[in-house]
């Protein structure tokens, strides 16, 4: 298939691009390089459009390429930035998404959309782990714009027949993760059923920050002293997502333990930090 990945030079995008190429798809990456990096795509057989998804001119460019699938990862992903700059957040996450949807409906592409656990907000402990049917109460403009984008996806399906899948990611980490924020589900591209819906992508395992510090201390072989401060505005206090639906309909399950994932991540940063 001919696939466009917006934000494909970023952390999640560059991992997904490699998977798509391994699966013998042709890939075009659209990225304005605000958080992505050319080195993330080094040596890969991809076409790079160094452009901003908010640019209206990109719509016809996408339509002309006649993509089969558009994976929309490009976004403003920082909760604190959305609190400080809600207009900027909306321009990235709403207007940028609308450009993608307009292009997709004109060329008939399916859209895979990266949403977030921030859509749920704080959830009562009795409702954990959170299922996709949980009411959405975002506490940040970032979460709000992602919920809004999901609603646009639903209406584009209802009105224009656009097919989509939205994936609500839990906290993500790994090699090539930047300090400015951000595994695709390959099976989504091939399935003909169970689309036009939302899936949580999560290990379904709750990890406290203190336990995270302990695991990182063990891996690094040195003690890390945590610093306690006031909660950041807009952050969710406690969250764990159910992955039951993704396992049932996408045959998806997490394949990397926290310890192994953190070890790979720390090794990556050790080799890239001067």
Catalytic sites, residue numbers = 142
Tell me the HSE value of 65 on the side-chain side, using a 13 A CA sphere.
Answer: 23
Can you read off the two tokens belonging to residue 87?
């207009």
> What does the longest C-alpha to C-alpha distance in the chain come to?
57
Let me know how long the chain is.
274
Structure tokens given for 256? 């990397």
For residue 128, CA distances in Å to 132, 141, 209, 273 come to: 11, 23, 18, 37
Query: What H or E segment, with its residue span, contains residue 47?
Result: strand 47-49
The C-alpha atoms of residue 75 and residue 35 are separated, in whole angstroms, by 10
Contact 5, 170 (CB under 8 A): no
Residue 222 tokens, joined: 């040195």
64: CB partners within 8 A, 6+ apart: none
Peptide bond into 150 cis (omega under 30): no
Beta bridge partners of 165: 112, 197
């Amino acid at each position: 298939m001919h696939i466009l990945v917006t934000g494909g030079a970023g952390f999640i995008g560059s991992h997904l691009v490699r998977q798509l190429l391994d699966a013998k798809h042709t890939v075009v990456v659209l990225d304005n390089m605000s958080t992505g990096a050319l080195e993330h795509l080094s040596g890969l057989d991809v076409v790079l459009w160094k452009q901003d998804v908010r640019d209206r001119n990109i719509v016809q460019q996408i339509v002309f390429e006649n993509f089969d699938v558009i994976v929309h990862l490009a976004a403003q992903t920082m909760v604190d930035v959305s609190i400080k700059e809600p207009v900027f957040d909306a321009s990235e996450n709403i207007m940028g998404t609308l450009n993608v949807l307009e292009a997709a409906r004109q060329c008939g592409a399916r859209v895979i959309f990266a949403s977030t656990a921030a859509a749920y907000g704080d959830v009562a402990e009795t409702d954990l782990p959170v299922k996709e049917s949980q009411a959405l109460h975002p506490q940040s403009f970032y979460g709000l714009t992602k919920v809004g984008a999901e609603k646009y996806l639903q209406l584009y399906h209802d009105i224009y027949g656009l097919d989509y899948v939205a994936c609500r990611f839990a906290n993500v980490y790994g090699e090539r993760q930047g300090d400015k924020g951000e595994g695709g589900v390959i099976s989504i591209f091939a399935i003909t059923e169970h689309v036009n819906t939302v899936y949580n992508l999560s290990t379904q395992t709750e990890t406290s920050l203190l336990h995270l510090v302990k695991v990182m201390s063990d891996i690094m072989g040195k003690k890390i002293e945590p610093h306690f401060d006031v909660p950041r505005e807009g952050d969710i206090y406690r969250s764990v997502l159910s992955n039951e639906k993704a396992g049932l309909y996408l045959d998806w399950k997490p394949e990397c333990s926290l310890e192994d994932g953190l070890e790979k991540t720390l090794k990556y940063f050790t080799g890239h930090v001067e």
